[in-house]
Amino acid sequence: MMLEDLTMRQILRFSPDSVRPERAAVLALQGMSGDIEPDPRLDAYMDKALDLLGRLCEPSAVYQMVSMPEFDGVFRGSGLNEVRTPLAGIYPHAQAMALFAITLGGPVSRRIAELFEADDFVLGYVLDAAASAAADRCAEAVQEAFGGALVAAGRVPSSRRTLRYSPGYCGWHISAQRGLFDLLKPEVIGVTLGKSLLMEPLKSVSGVLVCGEPGIHEFKNAFPFCGRCSHRTCRGRR
Residues that bind ligand SF4 in the complex, under the rule CB under 6 A? 86, 169-170, 221, 223, 225-226, 229, 232-234
What's the residue count for the chain?
Answer: 238
Please state the closest distance from residue 173 (CB atom) to ligand SF4, in A. 13
Task: Report the residue number, 89 or 92, with the smaller CB distance to ligand SF4.
Answer: 89
Q: What is the DSSP letter of 157?
A: -
Task: Report the residue number, 9 or 161, with the smaller CB distance to ligand SF4.
Answer: 161
Please state the closest distance from residue 176 (CB atom) to ligand SF4, in A. 15
The Cα–Cα gap between 55 and 58 comes to 9
Task: Report the residue number, 68 or 229, with the smaller CB distance to ligand SF4.
Answer: 229
Please state the closest distance from residue 143 (CB atom) to ligand SF4, in A. 16
Decide: 166 and 205 in contact? Cβ < 8 Å: yes
Please state the closest distance from residue 232 (CB atom) to ligand SF4, in A. 5
Q: Quote the Cα angle for 195-196-198, to 5°.
A: 105
Residue 167's nearest CA partner among 224, 129, 207, 118 is: 207
Task: Report the residue number, 175 or 221, with the smaller CB distance to ligand SF4.
Answer: 221
In terms of phi and psi (left: phi > 0; alpha: psi -120 to 50; beta: otherwise), the region of 168 is left
